[in-house]
């Protein structure tokens, strides 16, 4: 383990080492230490965890170190190839005279590559050197011709359906008929190839539309994948990259979601990310040639063709033009790519994806890299590559949440209704294979509905579970327990899922359902994709039920919605372990680096993601902050202005006494602290409670006489406008009420006047009534005894008191995980201030639990989980608020003179 010392108090910067000449200015000592640690970790390979506080230039250090390593590695490979070429040239036959011009040699050297590209473009494979390879090539070619013949026959049938008739005649319902499903073995390969995947995955052939030109690109030998949590963080990374010399030397691809990239106004109107994804895939899947007939002069009929796919992908020349401009303009973030796509009238989503094969650096969000299905659909290969995961403080929870699946009662009812209507319409036309599988799906959906509705009028559900779980409550179940209780353990879910994937029945049934709804409700706008979304949710849950019994839990909720805007009952699969998921990434990549401002405790991350790795083989590096000690004033506040203890525990935080005392504290702060103050509350509900109370008591009016008040909106899309107004108001004084875990606490920087003081109200422990959280707590606690294969807790029904009982029964790891969730959120929030060496701010931790006597302190004490650069400078005020006021006055008076 390496720990770097913070910069000297005089703030002098060291000369840039020769290794990192691309750094745009002279780095500080800790930045050089960080870059060296990262470079060495990439050389060694394996897993590394690198910790550098927010505001220390971590992003720029990652760029200059990682890309320098990439350039050096490429250079070493070129040198090795040159040596091999020289040795071959001196020992083997000469290909030409020594006096041959260099340009002729270059042409000869490039000719084989051009031939390979040309053959690849026309579908030829490379020659095989052995008999087996030749046989494989022959078989591939034979199968290829068989598929062409089958495609021709299919196209012949589909072609007639695609004729556009002038009188607007509706298509026959038979277009929704599922083709006969012969078996679950190799016989379904043809159907699979024709129809593509539909089982909750986006890896269908249609997704590769718009990416055709990538075949002509030479794959980069080595790649670096940089991923972070939000699109704004990725944009910030690209902006930092532009400051370096690498911006013009390396190829960069920036990926993101369809919602962020889409420029098709008709698709964007859907608003919801899921609906946008489905509509985009539908447009690609349905990209056929529609034939219309027009009469010309003389009575001749001329056929014209038009694409039925997305208009933003109709012209491949524009996609090539988009790609060329990306290469010319250098690194572009998502906003730049959307602007470029809009100017050219071509899709930036698929355009950016086309850059991946030849890119040296790929910048992408968590979901695109960590999800296996996303990697496959994007064509990402991690072999011999470097994976850098930024903001990795909550990586384990983020990773497993990607593999959760959920379906609501309303979605199940929609699926069941669609299946019944479809089966009734096509019963006599369906073959035995299709009938059997569709009836099996109907059995499953009915069983799920009966469980959520608490009705036992079928033979599917075990009544014991229904009796134990009353309406309005929820519980957690093992997967096997859930399957056996519904009497569906005799259903082969793997074969059923294979049928769903191969037969394309999801699109057929949902398409027919949408058609019926639209015909019956001519005046009602159909929520496009709602049936398809429901089917995919069902497929996702069924896929989760095939996981190992100990990998996750089923949450069964019968809670009724409080209003029309909330969901009712639902079934949810909660993944508990990320070990297997992360193992796939580590096994394939050359190196995997977890970076962040606060990664400790590292043992928790190791135990949850890579327990197979011995602690001594983990490369860990941590450095201090660059700011001088005088630029930060952290204070723990135990008592308010009237001497009232500041107790913001769950039972007392909402009392009028606590809310009033907090209001008086803020009134005092706005009179002594200049510019902007950011106050963090534990939840939106608690912020609403406090704000309403202050408004009624007049405290809010007193605050607003000194500073303008802003509140974090619940809708993330509204945050940017509120922040803009706040930034414009800070010079005259402003207060921002934010929420821990919201968008403000996770990725917004409050540098300089935007955050002269950060106030953390209480300790934001997650609710013990959170049933998913408690399942994770129990699972993590079981990891302490590695001889135990599973944990043995009684079923948890989502009661807060039961949650506290679980926490008390935990030995160590479970309880520590619960505490760490709280303190990681605290550290993320208070880290929004102090963004550079000349910045300064005060940090107030308002709660008596931050000021426990040092003799009683232990490793689990909140202040021991603070970052070292804050913990070492913490002023603990136990009873005298006057001392807090004096320290704040001196601190800001000192910086006012500078």
Mean pLDDT per 10-residue section of the chain, whose length is 898 residues: 44 53 90 95 95 89 96 86 65 50 53 48 39 42 41 39 37 74 51 44 44 57 92 91 92 94 91 84 65 46 54 89 92 95 95 94 95 91 94 92 94 94 92 93 95 66 57 85 92 94 88 80 52 92 95 89 65 95 94 92 88 88 90 95 94 95 97 97 97 97 97 91 96 97 85 96 92 92 62 52 70 88 92 89 95 61 88 84 94 88
Per-residue confidence (pLDDT) for residue 281, from 0 to 100: 82
Question: Is 136 within the bounds of a domain?
Answer: no
Question: Is 269 within the bounds of a domain?
Answer: yes
Per-residue confidence (pLDDT) for residue 101, from 0 to 100: 56
Same domain, 355 and 432: no
Question: Is 142 within the bounds of a domain?
Answer: no
Q: How far apart are CA 799 and CA 802, in angstroms?
A: 5
Please say which residue of 511, 542, 577 terminates a domain: 577
Residue 480 tokens read as 């096997």
Same domain, 410 and 390: no
Same domain, 325 and 409: no
Query: Strands 570-575 and 405-408, how do they pair?
Result: antiparallel
φ, ψ of residue 208 to 5 degrees: the values are -85, 0
Please say which residue of 366, 396, 426 terminates a domain: 396
Residue 223 tokens read as 């790649």
The DSSP 8-state label assigned to residue 645 in this structure reads B
Same domain, 208 and 341: yes
Query: Strands 289-295 and 301-307, how do they pair?
Result: antiparallel
Same domain, 335 and 421: no
Q: Is 362 helix (H, G, I), strand (E, B) or coil?
A: strand
Question: Is 111 within the bounds of a domain?
Answer: no
Question: Is 105 within the bounds of a domain?
Answer: no
How far, rounded to the nearest angstrom, does the alpha carbon of residue 842 sit from its chain's CA centroid? 33
Q: How far apart are CA 349 and CA 40, in angstroms?
A: 35
Same domain, 422 and 359: no
Per-residue confidence (pLDDT) for residue 559, from 0 to 100: 75
Per-residue confidence (pLDDT) for residue 157, from 0 to 100: 39
Question: Is 687 within the bounds of a domain?
Answer: yes
Q: How far apart are CA 443 and CA 437, in angstroms?
A: 10
CATH of the domain at 231: 3.40.50
Q: Is 38 exposed, middle or buried (0-12, 13-18, 19+ CB in 10 A)?
A: buried
- Are 516 and 426 in contact by the 8 Å Cβ rule? The answer is no
Residue 167 tokens read as 């009188």
Distances (CA, A) of 538 to 200, 532, 572: 9, 10, 10
Question: Is 91 within the bounds of a domain?
Answer: no
Please say which residue of 565, 592, 623 terminates a domain: 623
CATH of the domain at 461: 1.10.275.40
Per-residue confidence (pLDDT) for residue 109, from 0 to 100: 57
Same domain, 779 and 673: yes
Its domain, for residue 850, covers: 629-897
Q: How far apart are CA 39 and CA 29, in angstroms?
A: 15
Same domain, 654 and 572: no
Same domain, 552 and 615: no
Residue 136 tokens read as 């494989």
CA neighbor of 438 nearest in space, from 362, 387, 506, 379: 506
Same domain, 570 and 635: no
Distances (CA, A) of 52 to 60, 173, 357: 12, 61, 31
Per-residue confidence (pLDDT) for residue 738, from 0 to 100: 97
Per-residue confidence (pLDDT) for residue 11, from 0 to 100: 40
Same domain, 568 and 615: no
Q: Is 150 exposed, middle or buried (0-12, 13-18, 19+ CB in 10 A)?
A: middle
CATH of the domain at 645: 3.40.50.300
Per-residue confidence (pLDDT) for residue 216, from 0 to 100: 54
Same domain, 464 and 351: no
Question: Is 118 within the bounds of a domain?
Answer: no
Q: How far apart are CA 484 and CA 147, in angstroms?
A: 42
Q: How far apart are CA 83 and CA 100, in angstroms?
A: 20
- Total count of domains within the chain: 4
Q: How far apart are CA 33 and CA 302, in angstroms?
A: 72
Per-residue confidence (pLDDT) for residue 65, from 0 to 100: 96
Count of helix runs (H) and strand runs (E) in the chain: 35, 21
List of long-range contacts for 877-884, beta carbons under 8 Å, 24+ apart: 877/635, 877/636, 877/637, 877/638, 877/639, 877/851, 878/638, 878/639, 878/851, 879/638, 879/639, 879/643, 880/639, 881/637, 881/639, 881/640, 881/641, 881/643, 881/665, 884/635, 884/637, 884/844
pTM for this entry: 0.80
Taking residue 564's Cβ as centre, other Cβ atoms within 10 Å add up to 5
């Amino acid at each position: 383990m390496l720990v770097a010392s913070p910069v000297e108090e005089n703030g002098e910067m060291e000369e840039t080492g020769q290794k990192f000449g691309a750094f745009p200015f002279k780095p500080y000592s800790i930045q050089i230490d960080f870059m060296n640690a990262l470079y060495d970790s990439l050389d060694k390979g394996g897993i590394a965890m690198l910790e550098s506080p927010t505001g220390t230039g971590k992003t720029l250090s990652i760029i200059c170190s990682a890309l320098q390593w990439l350039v050096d590695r490429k250079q070493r490979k070129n040198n090795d190839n040159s040596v091999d070429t020289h040795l071959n040239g001196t020992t083997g036959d000469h290909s030409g005279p020594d006096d041959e011009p260099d340009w002729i040699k270059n042409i000869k050297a490039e000719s084989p590559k051009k031939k390979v590209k040309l053959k690849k473009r026309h579908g030829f494979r490379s020659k095989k050197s052995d008999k087996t390879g030749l046989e494989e090539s022959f078989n591939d070619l034979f199968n290829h011709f068989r598929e062409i013949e089958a495609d021709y026959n299919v196209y012949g049938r589909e072609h007639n359906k695609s004729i556009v008739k002038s009188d607007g005649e509706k298509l026959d319902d038979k277009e929704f008929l599922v083709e006969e499903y012969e078996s679950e073995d190799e016989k379904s390969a043809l159907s699979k190839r024709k129809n593509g995947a539909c089982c909750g995955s986006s890896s269908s052939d249609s997704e590769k539309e718009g990416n055709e030109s990538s075949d002509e690109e030479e794959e980069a030998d080595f790649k670096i994948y940089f991923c972070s949590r939000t699109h704004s963080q990725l944009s910030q990374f690209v902006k930092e990259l532009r400051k370096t010399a690498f911006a013009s030397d390396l190829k960069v691809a920036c990926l993101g979601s369809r919602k962020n990239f889409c420029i098709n106004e008709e698709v964007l109107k859907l608003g919801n990310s899921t609906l946008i994804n489905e509509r985009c895939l539908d447009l690609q899947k349905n990209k056929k040639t529609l034939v219309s007939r027009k009469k010309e002069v003389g009575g001749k009929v001329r056929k014209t063709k038009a694409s039925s796919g997305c208009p933003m992908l109709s012209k491949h020349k524009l996609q090539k033009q988009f790609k060329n401009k990306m290469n010319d303009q250098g690194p572009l973030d998502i906003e730049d790519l959307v602007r470029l796509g809009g100017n050219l009238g071509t899709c930036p989503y698929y355009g950016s994806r086309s850059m991946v094969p030849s890119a040296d650096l790929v910048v992408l969000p968590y979901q695109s890299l960590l999800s296996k299905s996303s990697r496959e659909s994007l064509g990402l290969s991690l072999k011999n590559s470097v994976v850098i995961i930024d903001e990795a403080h909550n990586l384990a929870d983020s990773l497993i949440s990607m593999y959760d699946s959920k379906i609501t009662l309303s979605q199940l009812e929609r699926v069941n209704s669609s299946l019944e209507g479809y089966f009734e319409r096509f019963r006599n036309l369906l073959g035995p294979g299709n009938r059997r599988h569709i009836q099996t799906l109907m059995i499953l959906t009915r069983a799920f509905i009966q469980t959520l509705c608490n009705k036992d009028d079928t033979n599917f559900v075990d009544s014991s579970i229904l009796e134990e779980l009353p309406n309005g409550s929820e519980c957690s179940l093992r997967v096997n327990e859930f399957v056996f209780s519904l009497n569906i353990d005799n259903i082969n879910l793997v074969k059923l899922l294979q049928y769903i994937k191969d037969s394309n029945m999801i699109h057929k049934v949902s398409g027919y359902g949408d058609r019926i709804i639209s015909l019956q409700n001519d005046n009602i706008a159909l929520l496009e994709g709602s049936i398809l979304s429901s089917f995919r949710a069902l497929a996702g849950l069924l896929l989760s039920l095939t996981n190992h019994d100990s990998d996750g839990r089923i949450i069964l909720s019968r809670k009724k919605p409080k209003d029309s805007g909330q969901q009712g009952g639902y079934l949810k699969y909660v993944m508990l372990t990320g070990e297997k998921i992360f193992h796939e990434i580590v096994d394939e990549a050359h190196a995997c680096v977890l970076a962040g401002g606060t990664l400790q405790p590292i043992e928790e991350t190791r135990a949850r993601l890579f327990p197979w790795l011995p602690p001594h083989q983990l490369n860990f590096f941590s450095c201090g902050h660059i700011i001088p000690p005088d630029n930060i004033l952290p204070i723990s506040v135990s008592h308010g202005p009237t001497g009232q203890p500041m107790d913001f525990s769950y039972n007392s935080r909402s009392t009028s006494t606590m809310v009033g005392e907090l209001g008086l504290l803020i009134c005092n702060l706005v009179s002594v602290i200049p510019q902007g103050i950011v106050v963090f509350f534990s939840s939106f509900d608690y912020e609403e409670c406090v704000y309403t109370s202050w408004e009624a008591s007049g405290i809010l009016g007193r605050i607003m006489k000194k500073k303008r008040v802003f509140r974090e909106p619940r809708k993330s899309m509204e945050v940017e406008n509120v922040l803009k107004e706040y930034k414009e108001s800070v010079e005259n004084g402003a207060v921002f009420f934010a929420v821990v875990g919201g968008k403000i606490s996770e990725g917004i920087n409050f540098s300089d006047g935007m955050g002269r003081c950060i106030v953390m109200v209480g300790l934001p422990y997650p609710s013990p009534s959170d049933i998913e959280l408690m399942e994770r707590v129990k699972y993590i606690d079981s990891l302490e005894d590695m001889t135990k294969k599973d944990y043995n807790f009684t079923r948890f029904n989502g009661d807060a008191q039961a949650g506290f009982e679980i926490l008390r029964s935990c030995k160590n790891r479970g309880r520590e995980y619960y505490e760490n969730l709280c303190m990681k959120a605290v550290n993320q929030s208070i880290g929004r201030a102090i963004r550079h060496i000349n910045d300064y701010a005060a940090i107030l931790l308002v709660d008596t639990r931050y000021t426990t006597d040092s003799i009683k302190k232990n490793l689990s004490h909140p202040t021991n989980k603070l970052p070292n650069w804050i913990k070492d400078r913490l002023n603990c005020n136990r009873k005298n608020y006057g001392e807090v006021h004096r320290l704040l006055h001196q601190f800001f008076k000192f910086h006012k003179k500078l």
